Amino acid sequence: MTSDWPELPRVFVLSGTTIERVIHTSLIFGTRRGKRWCVSQRHLLGLFNRSSQRSMSRYLRSAVKKGFVKKYKKSRGARPDTYVRGEFFTHRAKQGELLIRLSNALYAAPRGILWDWPYPTAWGHGCFGAVDILCLATLRRLGGPMTREAMCRYLQSLVSSSSLNATLRRLSKKGLLSVAGSDISLTPTWEDTMRHCLEENPACNQRKYKGDERRRQESAQNRRRVVKGTITEAERCELKTLPCVRQGCRRKAVQMEHFPPKRYLKDLDDYNNISLIWAICPEHNLETSEFIKILGPISVNPIPPFRIVGDTDPFLLYRLVSNHWYGKFYEAFLAGDRQAAQQAIRITLSYWLAIKDLPRPTHRDTPLSPQMQHIAERGRRYSTWKSQLS
């Protein structure tokens, strides 16, 4: 190998399938030099021509679990999650440096192997696949020919030798590679053959076109939900995984429980803010509906303007207040005490009106301290915190 080839260092911490390793290195490169990368599952599905959101979600969770990246800011409205480099690069500096060099060798301009790969639809499952693309992109970038053993050593961090040998035989049969002794090189007509394969195979170009159109429609639908004040699809999916706010029961049907109740939030633009929503089963939701109807109008005592000092998140404090008073409201409902129920609603609504227009902190939301969590859950048989969107 010549010295001007981009080096692919051997990294032992990468695991999983080849496509998972490639996606992990793309996340590492996307968060280079302290960059905050705002990226959604739909965007990654489009980049790699995949259709399974479940698989892409698993790859993202795996990257977070291994410490390659971490969520700096969770999705809010139509804006996707924001990622930064994870703790892996702090705690395992030597392996972290190798990972960074590997991601740069794959994606950094102008010498990265995948930097200007011209056939993105080839990533599709059932099309060419990750191993095929790495072999072709390596020979395209390095100018070949290359021995089989040299390619095995070069791509060993991403591809096993058995997978590579099978891929080389398959690409040779398709007329993309020529084998002369131990040397492997691209055929003179490999690009024409590649384009023909991408057009003929429905898992390639056709899937990309259909997938992009579907993702555009999903994004437009998500934006319409946000404009109307409805929670996003990701938040709706999360809500379905949460237990009922009343007693922690789990049923297949899950609805949104607003507190303060929705009838007192109708005049607000953002009445479906996640700070106002809990998960509830239909049975318990129906129980309190009639009780809320007979409560009548509530006069809210406005809180004078105030400022929160330090690094405290006012919306996290609001969650502490709202979960406390939600418990008081439910106790009033069981006792049939309208006055106590109105007081719980009035106090919570007053605080929300006071803080709802405050700027959100720029740092990532942090969980409550153990002391505050204890205060939030004290005296409860079931913690309402477990039923609220994060």
Joined together, the tokens standing for residue 110 give 């102008």
pLDDT tens-digit series, residues 164-193: 989 999 999 999 999 888 889 999 999 999
Task: Please indicate whether residue 185 or residue 381 has the higher confidence score (pLDDT).
Answer: 185
pLDDT tens-digit series, residues 161-172: 888 989 999 999
Task: Please indicate whether residue 303 or residue 46 has the higher confidence score (pLDDT).
Answer: 46
Using alpha carbons only, give the angle 192, 198, 199 rounded to the nearest 5 degrees: 90
Where helices occur in the chain by DSSP H, the ranges are 18-30, 41-47, 53-65, 88-91, 93-107, 129-142, 148-154, 161-173, 190-200, 207-227, 233-240, 282-293, 314-335, 338-355, 370-377
Contact 250, 283 (CB under 8 A): no
Contacts (Cβ under 8 Å, ≥6 apart) of 5: 142
Q: How far from 1 is each of 7, 59, 143, 145, 233, CA to CA, in Å? A: 10, 32, 11, 11, 49
pLDDT at 324 over 80: yes
Joined together, the tokens standing for residue 380 give 């409860």
What is the rounded average pLDDT of the residues 275-295?
86
Q: By three-state DSSP, how is residue 22 classified?
A: helix
Domain boundaries, the chain: 18-194, 229-387
pLDDT tens-digit series, residues 339-353: 999 999 988 888 888
pLDDT at 365 over 50: no
Tell me what pLDDT residue 97 has: 93
Closest CA to 9 of 99, 130, 106, 137: 99
With cut-offs at 50, 70 and 90, classify the pLDDT of residue 115. Answer: very high
One-letter amino acid at 284 equals: H
Span of 4-13, 299-308, 355-364 with lowest mean pLDDT: 355-364
